[in-house]
Structure 1
Amino acid sequence: MPVLASDIENVIRTNLPVTHLEVVDESSGCGENYRVLIVSEAFEGKSTLARHRLINELLKAEISQIHAFTQKTLTPKQWAAEKP
């Protein structure tokens, strides 16, 4: 059974205070390749590696069922600085 974008979104929203979240299936709908952008205050004071480890742990079951997973994790301040 393929992993759905809604599955990934539900796990993240249930476990983190999320300011902004994008979950994109880059595999034309087959659920094998996902890209996520997560903006959360939970990332404050954490290195990029610590942020990614946190997300990887939360999504361990989902990631084990897909081919590729790319994540970008930002604090609300970083997100505000990146927006045009």
Structure 2
Amino acid sequence: MLSLTRRIVVSRPSWPRALSTSVTDMEKAIISKLTERFSPTELAVQDVSGGCGAFFAIKVASEKFRGLPTVKQHMLVTEVLKKEIGGIHGLQIKTIPPDS
């Protein structure tokens, strides 16, 4: 049974952006592109670079990953984020089919 509930999480590092609750342009771009392409049931985007936007950890749960090997799932994500990846230092990706 598919859940129609979507959960999007933008995590903040504890320092130095702890007082900021606004979503950065980079986070908006990542969220927008991944939501449009994968219609995720869960999407978590976390700046793990200490707030400078150089390294992101992303978790995406989407039905579009079902039956695909992990390498292919990651290739699909990096293809969508090609422009954003060019401007950051690193990217950690976790992809899963829903309810996994």
Shorter-chain TM range is 0.7 to 0.9
Larger Rg: 2
- 1:44 corresponds, among 66, 74, 87, to 66
Whether contact under 8 Å (1:40, 1:74) holds in the other structure is yes
- How many correspondences in the alignment? 77
Shift of 1:46: 0.3
Aligned partner of 1:58 in structure 2 is 80
Taking the aligned partners of 2:42 and 2:34, their CA distance within structure 1 comes to: 11
Aligned AA for 1:59? L
Aligned AA for 2:80? L
Shift of 1:3: 6.0
Aligned partner of 1:72 in structure 2 is 94
Runs of 4 or more, structure 1, over 2 Å off, are: none
Taking the aligned partners of 2:61 and 2:98, their CA distance within structure 1 comes to: 6
Shift of 1:76: 0.7
Structure with greater helix percent: 1
Matched, 1:12 2:68: no
Taking the aligned partners of 2:31 and 2:51, their CA distance within structure 1 comes to: 15
Whether contact under 8 Å (1:3, 1:66) holds in the other structure is no
Q: Percent identity?
A: 34
Output the TM-score relative to the length of structure 2: 0.73
Q: Which runs of 5+ in 2 are unaligned?
A: 1-23
Aligned ranges for residues 26-37 of structure 1 at < 5 Å? 26-37=48-59
